[in-house]
Amino acid sequence: MKVEIDDKGRPVGVHQKLSAEANWLIEEFMLLANRTVAEWVGKAKRTFVYRVHDEPNMEKLAGLRDFAGHFGYKMGAFDGGRDIAHALNSLMTDAKDKPELGAIQILALRSMAKACYSVDNIGHYGLAFPYYTHFTSPIRRYPDMMVHRLLAQYLRKGPNADSMYYAQQCKHASEREVVAAEAERESIKYKLVEFMQDKIGQEFDGHVSGVTEWGVYVEIEPTKIEGMIPYRTIKCDFFIFDQDHYRAVGKRTRKSIRLGDPLRIRVKGTSLEQKILDYELIEDCFLSPSADK
């Protein structure tokens, strides 16, 4: 999400960031440049900063298969890297534009190893590249700068760099990357909650974006800002989380709340300190189909 702020830092608008075909083309050029440079240095057996990505967690992939099966999707074999990539790509294609796509993407990401920086090249599983690094402009990270310096040194026929030194720098950069990514997510959440502070009591249409043991998450239109409806606040019934089918089912009415269900909500409260939004269900508009008994 992109949050627009005024000259005093207050959020005044929220919209989704969309990539155009021109962005995709530039991205392909950047991937090719990074791959080519990493391969050139790697085959020369010189110390370098690689962007590496290990193979996925097979246990979590099995969990993804079970979860997708609840929605009628079938995944192929997990016999090797190509099979896994094909199965995941096919699943994403089949789930495209479906309400459950978001949850499937989250579980797929959780099954993947975390990409990091390393002087030991194990390849990039996610991109299916045997060699990969980060160096193309705009320079955004310190590892980009390290790659630029090493590349310049090797183009000048300079000596091989100290592997131990760069291994330490890669470890530090990978750790700080995690911290920076979390700070970015938290700052966006903070601004989204701040944006909604003056909208308490207002009603919005939305769709269920997540189902948990304690409540359902709803993304409202058109901003896609997510908040939670705790089950305890729904007065028409007592809802229980059905983990096997990833839904919430009313104990008395047997009504169900599933991913993608349209709901109309009212903004109930905000907490900047906790960076959370509370929504409440407008029960007169709760028209979800009954669950199977």
What is the percentage of the chain residues whose pLDDT exceeds 90? 57
The pair of three-digit structure tokens given for residue 112, joined into one six-digit string: 């993947």
Give me the pLDDT at residue 284, please. 61
Residue from 264, 263, 266, 265 nearest 200 by CA: 266
Q: For the stretch 253-290, what's the b/e string if a residue is b when 16 or more beta carbons lie within 10 angstroms of its beta carbon?
A: eebbbbbebebbbbbbebeeeebebbbbbeeeebebee
Residue 60 pLDDT > 80: yes
Q: Which helix (H) or strand (E) holds 120?
A: none
Residue 288 pLDDT > 50: no
Give me the pLDDT at residue 291, please. 47
Domains annotated on the chain, with CATH: 2-54+113-192 (no CATH), 200-285 (2.40.50.140)
pLDDT: which is higher, 155 or 95 = 155
Neighbours of 66 (CB within 10 A): 11
Q: pLDDT tens digits, residue range 129-149?
A: 999 999 886 767 899 999 999
Confidence (pTM): 0.80
